[in-house]
Chain A
């Protein structure tokens, strides 16, 4: 029962490098989202998707791109990494976008940009 799977778990990047954080879910959830977790700031929404082919910006979208070509996958792309993007990234999915449904989280990706 995999749930939400994120890869990689850890990554170190040099400033200016690009990379993609992968997120996959096997629960056929329509809604997926990306958060970053920083000390003292909680979880902040980066981008989200309400279904395949539909994405929208969250609270802190700058520097990140997303796409949703399938229901299962929701990759997060950093086009040109900056030290300010050092953070722990969480992907989440839920069967409905809002309401009293549970969000399921991945185990997180710890990213360091040097």
Chain B
């Protein structure tokens, strides 16, 4: 079965510290993975997708098929990064986007 696991409910760091939000997936096919972010009182929005191999707001995420992971990383956290982060898996040919349970990132000054 397809599954996305985010083991941390809450991650707290100080400004300037490195951040890694973990995401593991279970999927038999070739995965398409995303990170979505929800800032306070804002709607959920796409942060980045693995196929683009891009860096958005200093965040990067690398797909590791051997470890079935898609961890989100940022070398120096900023206070404005505080938000809820969701990892999501697009399931080929089933029209579904499966989300993990989310990780709340708190960045303290």
Which residues in A have their C-beta under 8 angstroms from that of B44? Answer: 43, 90, 92, 105
In the bound complex, what is the Cα–Cα distance between A42 and B44 (angstroms)? 12
Chain A stretch 67-114: residues in CB contact (< 8 A) with chain B:
90, 92, 97-100, 102-103, 105-108
Chain A stretch 12-44: residues in CB contact (< 8 A) with chain B:
31, 33, 35, 40-44
- B65: CB under 8 A from chain A? no
Count of A residues near B, CB < 8 Å?
Answer: 26
In the bound complex, what is the Cα–Cα distance between A45 and B101 (angstroms)? 12
Which residues in A have their C-beta under 8 angstroms from that of B6? Answer: 42
Cβ of A48 and Cβ of B95 under 8 Å apart?
Answer: yes
Cβ of B98 and Cβ of A100 under 8 Å apart?
Answer: no
In the bound complex, what is the Cα–Cα distance between A44 and B88 (angstroms)? 11
Cβ of B96 and Cβ of A45 under 8 Å apart?
Answer: yes
Stretch at the interface among B13-21, B46-54, B73-81: B46-54
Cross-chain contact of B92 among A41, A90, A98 (Cβ < 8 A): A98
Cβ of B49 and Cβ of A100 under 8 Å apart?
Answer: yes
In the bound complex, what is the Cα–Cα distance between A31 and B32 (angstroms)? 17
Cross-chain contact of A105 among B45, B93, B100 (Cβ < 8 A): B45
Which residues in A have their C-beta under 8 angstroms from that of B51? Answer: 100
- A58: CB under 8 A from chain B? yes
For B46, the closest partner residue in chain A by CB is A102
| 20 CB < 8 A contacts A-B | A35-B99, A40-B9, A41-B101, A42-B6, A42-B86, A42-B99, A42-B101, A42-B102, A45-B98, A50-B95, A58-B96, A90-B44, A92-B44, A97-B95, A98-B96, A100-B52, A102-B46, A102-B49, A103-B36, A105-B45
